[in-house]
């Protein structure tokens, strides 16, 4: 019998934002009940202490410890399938690296995300820009060495990559310059060098043929699906870093995918392949966060 | 020792919208843990059958049964204080009517709401337009007769009432005309006839003196606080009927209160009076609803 486990990993250090922890808890609470056990991966809760920048990554030590904790839990259960509720994107490394071993280096991975998560942004220094890089044996050396069998680049597809307008691109690069953020190699350069296939949301709205061809040509049998919720249009789904009602976000472009399109894509992938991994990440439910904080201060609720 | 209970009443029939049920569940989940027991009031879940319009109210029979169920549960516990998590606004009737008996007809009630919930809108026919009317012994006859001691109008204050612009007022009245919605007496006429005090959000931003004077002049010692979350600005808090990303809402004006202002007001009231009742209603968390629906259809989560 196929054994599936659910992991709840309320990791926040990879995005250096404690709200990711609550986003993970709510996400797991929203998931349909079934027989899959829900296992908590221990994460050091935010205690008010700012993270140290350790060798170019905020909270590197905590992130490495948590990666190892997730690995131990997965090794304890040895599942056939894993569902991961994050937390920041970096939570995906342990389950997907395990699944690639479990399926003898043949795992396919579709990275549904407004960002490709391949490279380090020097000066931004948050680990959640790196999980796909790590899984390919690149990214950050200390993290990549925890991936025993790197994924094959031809087995990876990036879907929903944001396509900023020229004006937006100019705006972001100005912000980057102002903040002193640089990359050694850009995401686009890594994608080209490794020959990773991609499709933007607009292309996928017209047709998902490019994904079907990738599945066929790369012979993908077992598939892991990564979803960074920021692939969604923040006007329709507002529980995203980009959609903070109190502060604009201008470090990167927002997604444009609609929820029915995302669901349709997941269903298609589930028909064409054996989906053995699913990760959902970067849930930032502003309203629930603000309402929880309000309730937490109402006297009659706190006697 | 003071005995406080929490009630979770996921009533949806009063707004004729099943999403109110989930809003109630999430609201109760967000509340801080403490020793207050959380008691579920049985509510007939939406099963796909549209509500019948029964003598001018959609789902009248279910609403009356649920009102009686809430009364029985309260009578079983005989608490000193009640926290109510709704659900549509009509959930407030049972706890506040009980509290007014418990405090010998001297309960004060602040109705923090973009709407005054006093009268029936013929042609709209949803019970949630009536709870304050019922509590005052007016409103709907069948509901009002469940209020053994009606609240004194001078003990009621309506805060945050939306003040539509002239253009908005024109738009709403055109919509009402198109839909054939009418009132026998308007909210404003009832407020004037009964001499109920009110203050809009803008006035309260400048000063809460009018509320403090009301507390003093009416001699309010025990206070119930009703919060319809629609008093909040839907640009800042988007989990509201008004803020459906997929459909505009044009039946009534939206609130303009900010969350820090709401919290400040609640804290002030808690200092000036003994807060014995709190109801929070009309939570409509679109993102969580949409995300839950998405998760409910993902194959790997539903094996």
- Chain B environment of A34 (Cβ under 8 Å): 301-303
Prediction ipTM score:
0.96
Whether residue B303 and residue A4 make contact (CB cut-off 8 A), yes or no, is yes
Determine the pLDDT at residue B221. 98
Determine the pLDDT at residue A265. 98
**Angle at CA of residue B192, ends B187 and B195, nearest 5°:** 120
Determine the pLDDT at residue B284. 98
* pLDDT over 70 percentage in chain B: 100
DSSP chain A: ---EEEEEE---TTTT-THHHHHHHHHHHHSPP-S--EEEPP-----SPPPPEETTEETHHHHHHHHHHHHHHHHHH--SEEEEEESSGGGGHHHHHHHHHHTTT--EEEEESSS---S--BTT--GGG-HHHHHTT-S-HHHHTT-SSPPPGGGEEEES-----HHHHHHHHHHHHHHT-B-SS-HHHHHHHHT-EEE-HHHHHH--HHHHHHHHHTT--EEEEEEEGGGB-TTT---SGGG-TTS---SSPPP-B-HHHHHHHHHHHHHHSEEEEEEEE----HHHHHHHHHHTT-GGG--
Determine the pLDDT at residue B262. 98
CB of B291 less than 8 A from some CB of A: yes
Residue B291: closest C-alpha in chain A: A30
CA B86 to chain A, closest CA, distance in angstroms equals 14
For residue B87, cis peptide bond before it (omega within 30 degrees of 0): yes
CB atoms within 10 A of CB A66: 24
Determine the pLDDT at residue B212. 98
Residue the block writes with tokens 């005309």: B177
Q: Which of A32, A270, A297 sits opposite B263 (nearest CB)?
A: A297
- Chain B environment of A301 (Cβ under 8 Å): 31-32, 34, 36, 83, 278
* Beta-bridge partner residues of A182: A122
Determine the pLDDT at residue A175. 85
Provide the number of CB pairs (under 8 Å) joining chain A to chain B. Answer: 118
Determine the pLDDT at residue B207. 96
Whether the pLDDT of residue B167 is over 90: the answer is no
List the pLDDT tens digit at each of the 303 positions of chain A. Answer: 899 999 999 999 999 999 999 999 999 999 999 999 999 999 999 999 999 999 999 999 999 999 999 999 999 999 999 999 999 999 999 999 999 999 999 999 999 999 999 999 999 999 999 999 999 999 999 999 999 999 999 999 999 999 888 888 888 888 888 888 888 899 999 999 999 999 999 999 999 999 999 999 999 999 999 999 999 999 999 999 989 998 877 778 889 999 999 999 999 999 999 999 999 999 999 999 999 999 999 999 998
Whether the pLDDT of residue B165 is over 90: the answer is no
* pLDDT over 90 percentage in chain B: 87
CB of A184 less than 8 A from some CB of B: no
Both structure tokens of B112: 């923090």
- Chain A environment of B31 (Cβ under 8 Å): 295, 301
Determine the pLDDT at residue A168. 82
Whether residue A4 and residue B83 make contact (CB cut-off 8 A), yes or no, is no
- Chain B environment of A302 (Cβ under 8 Å): 32, 34
- Chain A environment of B2 (Cβ under 8 Å): 303
Whether residue B31 and residue A295 make contact (CB cut-off 8 A), yes or no, is yes
Map out the domains of chain A with their CATH numbers: 4-302 (3.40.800.10)
Q: Which of B238, B296, B302 sits opposite A238 (nearest CB)?
A: B238
Whether residue B290 and residue A26 make contact (CB cut-off 8 A), yes or no, is no
Tens digit of pLDDT for each residue in B233-255? 999 999 999 899 988 777 788 89
Whether residue B262 and residue A302 make contact (CB cut-off 8 A), yes or no, is no
- Chain B environment of A300 (Cβ under 8 Å): 4, 81, 83, 270, 275, 278
User: Radius of gyration (Cα) for chain B, nearest Å?
Assistant: 19
Backbone torsion region of residue B89, taken as left when φ is above 0, otherwise alpha when ψ lies between -120 and 50, otherwise beta: alpha
Lowest mean pLDDT among B44-48, B117-121, B160-164, B281-285: B160-164
The overall average pLDDT reported for chain B is: 96
**C-beta of residue A229 within 8 angstroms of C-beta of residue A240:** yes
Whether residue B288 and residue A238 make contact (CB cut-off 8 A), yes or no, is no
Per DSSP (E only), the strands in B93-216 are 108-112, 156-159, 197-199
Alpha-carbon span B116 to B114, nearest angstrom: 7
Which residues numbered 45-84 in B keep a CB inside 8 Å of some CB on A?
81, 83
CB of A239 less than 8 A from some CB of B: yes
Determine the pLDDT at residue A248. 79
Instruction: Give start and end residues of each alpha helix (H) in B78-153.
Output: 93-102, 131-135, 141-144
- Quick one: chain B helix, strand, coil %, rounded to 5? 45, 15, 40
Determine the pLDDT at residue B173. 84
CB of A254 less than 8 A from some CB of B: no
Q: How confident is the model at residue B174 (pLDDT cuts 50, 70, 90)?
A: confident
**C-beta of residue B129 within 8 angstroms of C-beta of residue B83:** no
Residue the block writes with tokens 């997907």: A96
Taking residues B203-217, report their average pLDDT: 97
**C-beta of residue B38 within 8 angstroms of C-beta of residue B77:** no
- Chain B environment of A291 (Cβ under 8 Å): 27, 30, 237, 239, 283
Both structure tokens of B94: 């049972």
CA A167 to chain B, closest CA, distance in angstroms equals 26
Residue the block writes with tokens 């948050």: A126
Both structure tokens of B288: 């969580």
CB atoms within 10 A of CB A78: 10
- Chain B environment of A237 (Cβ under 8 Å): 245, 287, 290-291
Q: Strands B38-40, A57-58: parallel, antiparallel or unpaired by DSSP?
A: unpaired
Whether residue A32 and residue B296 make contact (CB cut-off 8 A), yes or no, is yes
| DSSP 8-state symbol, B301 | G
CA B156 to chain A, closest CA, distance in angstroms equals 20
């Amino acid at each position: 019998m196929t054994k599936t486990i659910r992991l709840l990993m309320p990791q926040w250090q990879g995005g250096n934002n404690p709200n990711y922890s609550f986003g993970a808890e709510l996400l797991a609470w929203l998931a349909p009940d079934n027989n899959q056990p829900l296992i908590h991966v221990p994460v050091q809760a935010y205690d008010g202490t700012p993270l140290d920048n350790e060798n170019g990554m905020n909270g590197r030590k905590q992130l490495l410890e948590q990666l190892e904790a997730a690995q131990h839990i997965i090794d304890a259960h040895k599942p056939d399938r894993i569902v991961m509720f994050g937390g920041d994107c970096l939570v995906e490394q342990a389950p997907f690296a395990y699944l690639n071993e479990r399926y003898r280096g043949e795992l396919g991975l579709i990275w549904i995300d407004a960002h490709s998560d391949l490279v380090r942004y020097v000066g931004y220094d948050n680990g959640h820009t790196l999980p796909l890089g790590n899984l390919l044996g690149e990214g950050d050396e200390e993290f990549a060495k925890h991936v025993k069998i790197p994924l094959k680049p031809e087995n990876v597809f990036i879907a929903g990559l944001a396509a900023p307008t020229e004006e937006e691109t100019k705006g972001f690069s100005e912000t980057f310059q102002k903040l002193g953020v640089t990359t050694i190699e850009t995401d686009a350069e890594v994608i080209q060098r490794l020959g990773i296939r991609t499709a933007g949301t607009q292309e996928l709205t017209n047709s998902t043929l490019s994904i079907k061809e990738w599945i066929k040509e790369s012979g993908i049998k077992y598939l892991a699906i990564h979803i960074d919720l920021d692939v969604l249009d923040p006007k329709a789904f507002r529980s995203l870093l980009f959609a903070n009602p109190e502060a604009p976000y201008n470090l990167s472009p927002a997604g444009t995918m609609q929820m029915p399109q995302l669901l349709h894509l997941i269903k298609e992938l589930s028909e064409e392949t054996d989906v053995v991994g699913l990760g959902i990440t970067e849930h930032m439910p502003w309203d629930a966060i603000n309402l929880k904080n309000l309730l937490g201060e109402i006297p009659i609720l706190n006697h």
